[in-house]
Amino acid sequence: MIEVKHLSKTYSIYERGHTLREVIKTLVHRPMKEITAVDDLSFTIEQGEMVAFLGPNGAGKSTTLKMLTGVLHPSAGEVSSLGYTPWKQRREYVRKIGAVFGQKSQLIWDIPPSDAFYMNKAIYDIPDKEYNETLDELVDLLKVGDVMRKPTRQLSLGERMKCEFIMAMLHRPELVFLDEPTIGLDMIAKENIRHFIRSMNQRKVTFILTTHDLEDVEMLAERVMVINHGQIVVDDSLSGLRNRLGSKKKVRMTTEQAVPAMLPNGLRLLERIGPLELELEIDTDVLALKPFISNFNETYGIIDMSIEALPIEAVMKQLYVESSV
């Protein structure tokens, strides 16, 4: 469905001086500097996949998405998406794709979403029957029957985001790009939006998602692509990514006596919550759970304890750090 081969993007920017002397010098001669935002990316995405595109700030995610949506021309490489070269056949291509940007609205501030939907009907040339059926279905799924008739400016962020999704899905796109789709939403609104995305994905709509919200990733993604410095660091299933932590677990415990800062091999202090309460990371390949528990109980007296797998956040932190050196 999407085939990306050796995709690269280099931005040329003017270098600015730091000192007044340098700034004056650059008024006469402005030296150029090149920034490689995307560096030789190759991957394929099949129909019906739900892929999270992750990476630290400045990793090259937005630049990649802009090339995949056809907004930006690459410096090198090829993309075939739904049979189109996005930046060359943009007019035809945008009829097949949808996009929701958490930080950018596609609705019009002073008019109700229902009117904006009708404008999209005209833009995409959607036949009456198809439009009415799709709208009824989406309104029902997202429960925005009354909301969509109020001017957009009067809507809460959660209500507006639901309408943004309707706007993006009305022409029944096969492929949808989501950029931070749940940013700023409360827990209930996030869950509603995630539920909607999942139900569309069950109907074989392909989603490519970029987010810094790892809960979005845990709740939605099946495949995770991590990029840093414009290159793919990891391309794996969500469970495969979790397994990378393998034998590491998070232990939270309250003891009768304070645990000192110096810890045996295989243990790492994550957080000291109180004088007698702390969170540790244990690598069970180095230190097995059984001797760790009996040893700690004998020495410090365990009052309370919980052990759980490290969250995806820990994997990501490790990956970002490793790929930055």
Ligand X SMILES: Nc1ncnc2c1ncn2[C@@H]1O[C@H](COP(=O)(O)OP(=O)(O)OP(=O)(O)O)[C@@H](O)[C@H]1O
By CB under 6 A, residue 62 contacts ligand X: yes
Ordered DSSP codes for 82-138: TTB-TTTSHHHHTTTEEEEETTB--S-TTS-HHHHHHHHHHHHT--HHHHHHHHHHH
> Would you say 61 or 248 has its CB closer to ligand X?
61
Cβ at position 2, least distance to ligand X in Å: 18
Ranges within 116-175 binding ligand X (CB under 6 A): none
| Two tokens, residue 305 | 């304890």
Cβ at position 196, least distance to ligand X in Å: 24
CB proximity list for 126: less than 8 A, separation 6 or greater? 120, 134, 170, 171
Residue 18's H or E segment, with its range, is none
CA separation for the pair 35, 75 (Å, rounded): 11
Binding segment for ligand X (CB under 6 A), chosen from 50-58, 85-93, 116-124, 149-157, is 50-58
Choice from 55, 102, 113, 173 touching ligand X (CB under 6 A):
55
By CB under 6 A, residue 35 contacts ligand X: yes
The order of strands in the sheet holding 302-309 is 267-274, 277-283, 248-255, 302-309
> Would you say 35 or 305 has its CB closer to ligand X?
35
Contact by Cβ (8 Å): 122, 176: no
Binding segment for ligand X (CB under 6 A), chosen from 57-65, 132-140, 161-169, 262-270, is 57-65
Kindly determine how many residues on this chain lie close enough to bind ligand X according to the rule CB under 6 A: 12
By CB under 6 A, residue 37 contacts ligand X: yes
Q: Which of 38, 80, 40, 46 is nearest to 222 (CA)?
A: 46
By CB under 6 A, residue 253 contacts ligand X: no
Binding segment for ligand X (CB under 6 A), chosen from 41-49, 56-64, 112-120, 303-311, is 56-64
∠ CA 90-207-141, nearest 5°, is: 110
> Would you say 134 or 228 has its CB closer to ligand X?
228
Contact by Cβ (8 Å): 165, 135: no
Choice from 39, 50, 51, 60 touching ligand X (CB under 6 A):
60
Ranges within 7-26 binding ligand X (CB under 6 A): 11, 13
Footprint of ligand X (CB under 6 A) = 11, 13, 35, 37, 55, 57-63
